[in-house]
Amino acid sequence: MYNHILVPLDGSPLAEQVLPHVRALASAGLASKVTLMRAVPREYPDVIESATKSTEFVDPMKKLLNDAHSYLADLIGPLRDEGLQVGTEVLIRYPADAILEFAESEGVDLIALATHGRGGLGRWIYGSVTQKIMQTTPVPMLVVRPQA
């Protein structure tokens, strides 16, 4: 049984494909607490773009954080409906670092995430959050390769 499962999400439908697997663990009584996480890098490209295009001043980082909180709030309902203790966490950090630090500080005993499955040039250009986590964490991982 897992006491605390961390589910990092990047806001994409592909990333959300890990959720049925987390629900299955919960339904089987193998999970008691789940935290859905969204990490927003401080140097998020959309912040710069929206700051330069906006006609009225809106703090772009504040908007990103509000959007991240709303996104996670929309996802917790089905998990709570199954009686699972679910929380959310939004952090301003590079995603891999946020996941690793949160897992260590909060006693996470499973990290469940979907990978985009990039290889070769795509991985070199974009990096691989999953790969960095796998190389660094002692925490077991459930890695799902989503169906496109």
pTM for the complete prediction? 0.83
pLDDT at residue 148, rounded to an integer = 59
Q: Is the pLDDT of residue 125 over 50?
A: no
pLDDT at residue 81, rounded to an integer = 83
pLDDT in tens, 45-81: 554 455 555 555 557 888 889 999 999 999 998 888 8
61 or 18: which carries more pLDDT confidence? 18
Q: What domain range includes position 18?
A: 5-144
Residue 113's nearest CA partner among 124, 125, 102 is 102
Q: What are phi and psi of 110, to 5 degrees?
A: -155, 135
pLDDT at residue 61, rounded to an integer = 84
User: Which domain CATH number covers 114?
Assistant: 3.40.50.620
Domain count, the chain: 1
pLDDT at residue 79, rounded to an integer = 84
DSSP-derived secondary structure for 78-146: HHHHTT-EEEEEEE-S-HHHHHHHHHHHTT--EEEEE-----HHHHHHH--HHHHHHHH--S-EEEE--
